[in-house]
Chain A
């Protein structure tokens, strides 16, 4: 190892030997992972792009020909723009509610739980040790027409006699909220836990009301967690199709349902690929605008 050090030193006039040796090392450590990402992330994304431009008249038995058929995108978006809108509305509502529920939870764990902090943290993750599908299916049981929640709401007259909980947008959004809650809570906790509590105390010593203290001190300090949490909730929620499939009906289907069906059931690869890429493009654009707007350096 020591032999490596002198070699680059003479050529690297601007940097000292130490830094230039570290340079070589750094690349070696990064190479396997980067190769992996190049082969299994970048290359497939290019393949997906090419697939989206196949001639739609082909089929998967006879094969497709690449005709740079950009009209696939026009067709895909014309037929499914309402699914895109629905996906982003559902995911947006779910993310907002997750933030509203997850913030007090993360705050309580970080500042109020005392010696129960780690235990409460385990409780946040614990439900997620069980299969995601099983949990969603058991929500189906809970929200079912003859289930306890619907019965109760009918008894207190909030839900009409023939009203349903299952198969409504509400059920799908509730499922999204439930399933992505820890993705919101954990980053929030991580950044709240780093906040020096004395700063919050200082704000109240300086006569700020608890609300002002929160608005001007606590919340800004936890902003990296808010950004990470909202991204980690919104991104998977916008592409999810399990909640819509189990808790909803085709009337609540999101764009993920369409992509999944086009790929795995109809084998209409050009359509599925153009939908996929459109979704990815919109999500990445939203993320970029959002991160710029909120303006934190730390991405995740």
Chain B
């Protein structure tokens, strides 16, 4: 009898509407807990950005030269750093080199990687498994190993005297390539191949199908891969440090500056990089939404 009662009450507790609000309340808390943790983590990611932004307006004491040691605290407000970006010697030259390297490496890596992704997703052939492994391995190689192996090769083949733009690009293409393949592959795998079949059924030839159906569908993946390559390449320090020789890219410039005096203009460049890419991404998103609405 007693057991009977408890069973009924338990059943009631589970399905009964009376208990429902409490479970919802618990769920409300857990939902928002996750969201709050997420927002806290995001805030943590932005802490250094705030610092870089603030320090770009910093007038360091003892600073007619505008120099300060890396790790200095905020002292006084000034606009000077923003109007004298190119003043520190070599800063703008290093930026220009970085942009040239990243664009070249991005173009090469995106083309090679997209071709490879198409081959791997769309075509079957012997040796696919080992191809996948060879593409995965550079990603499983720590950068310091990749950089040192490239340097070992350049040294032992007598190319160490020409270290510079070309060797930096070679290295950057190498570490971007696998990421391009993975990104484009993910997009191609998710694509509906029936759309291409439909185009063929409607008498499009192979080239037309590729140009008018396949490529536009694959484009978001290719663009994402190119953007990823650009940012990986632009920001790379470790591999570049091994393969640059006497050339100085922007990350190498920052590294060199940290050892002696640290121009506050570097923080200005950091802030501009952040703002430009942020605006760019937001604009792309707005454009995407508007286009999606136009299609619907």
Contacts and interface: CB of A to CB of B under 8 A. Distances in A.
B153 A104 contact: no
A239 B143 contact: yes
A104 B38 contact: yes
A263 B48 CA distance: 31
B217 interface: no
A29 B119 contact: yes
Contacts of B116: 29-30, 33-34
A269 interface: yes
Interface centre among B116, B144, B146, B181 (most CB of A within 10 A): B144
A112 B38 contact: yes
Contact of B55 (A47, A141, A264, A300): A141
Contact of A36 (B112, B157, B255): B112
A291 B116 CA distance: 24
A135 B48 contact: yes
A30 B120 CA distance: 8
A35 to B, nearest CB: 9
B140 A120 contact: no
Interface string A48-65: 101100000000100000
B219 interface: no
Interface string A126-159: 1111111111111111101011000000000000
A139 B151 CA distance: 31
B174 A122 contact: no
Interface stretch (A6-14, A20-28, A72-80): A20-28
A244 B100 CA distance: 30
A125 B45 CA distance: 9
B251 A132 contact: yes
A54 B173 CA distance: 29
Contact of B38 (A27, A105, A129): A105
Contacts of A263: 148, 151, 242
A217 interface: no
Given A40-B174, A131-B273, A48 B73 contact: no
Contacts of A131: 235, 250-251, 254, 269-270, 273
A111 B122 CA distance: 32
Contact of B122 (A22, A129, A142): A22
A2 to B, nearest CB: 8
A182 to B, nearest CB: 8
A277 interface: yes
B198 interface: no
Contacts of B270: 130-131, 134-135
B170 A40 contact: yes
B278 A279 contact: no
B281 A122 contact: yes
A246 interface: yes
Contact of B134 (A34, A44, A259): A34
A197 interface: no
B152 interface: yes
A232 B141 CA distance: 10
A241 interface: yes
The 8 closest A-B pairs by CB, nearest first: A239-B142, A26-B123, A108-B38, A29-B119, A129-B277, A44-B153, A48-B149, A44-B149
Interface of B: 14, 26-27, 30-31, 34-35, 37-39, 41-42, 44-49, 51-52, 55, 70-73, 112-113, 115-116, 118-120, 122-125, 131-132, 134-146, 148-153, 155-157, 170-171, 173-174, 177, 181-182, 186, 206-207, 231, 235, 237-238, 241-242, 250-251, 254-255, 258, 262, 266-267, 269-271, 273-274, 276-278, 281-282, 285
17 contacts: A29-B123, A45-B149, A102-B41, A104-B37, A126-B281, A130-B52, A131-B269, A138-B48, A142-B48, A178-B45, A210-B27, A239-B142, A242-B237, A263-B151, A276-B144, A276-B149, A284-B137
Interface of A: 1, 19, 22-23, 25-30, 32-34, 36-37, 40-45, 47-48, 50-51, 60, 101-102, 104-105, 107-109, 111-113, 118-120, 122-142, 144, 146-147, 178, 181, 190, 207, 210, 231-232, 235-236, 238-242, 246, 256, 259-260, 263-264, 269, 272-273, 276-277, 279-280, 283-284, 287, 299-300
Given A25-B123, A29-B118, A240-B142, 14 more contacts: A33-B116, A40-B173, A43-B153, A47-B149, A51-B152, A129-B277, A131-B254, A138-B48, A138-B51, A138-B52, A138-B55, A141-B73, A242-B237, A256-B144
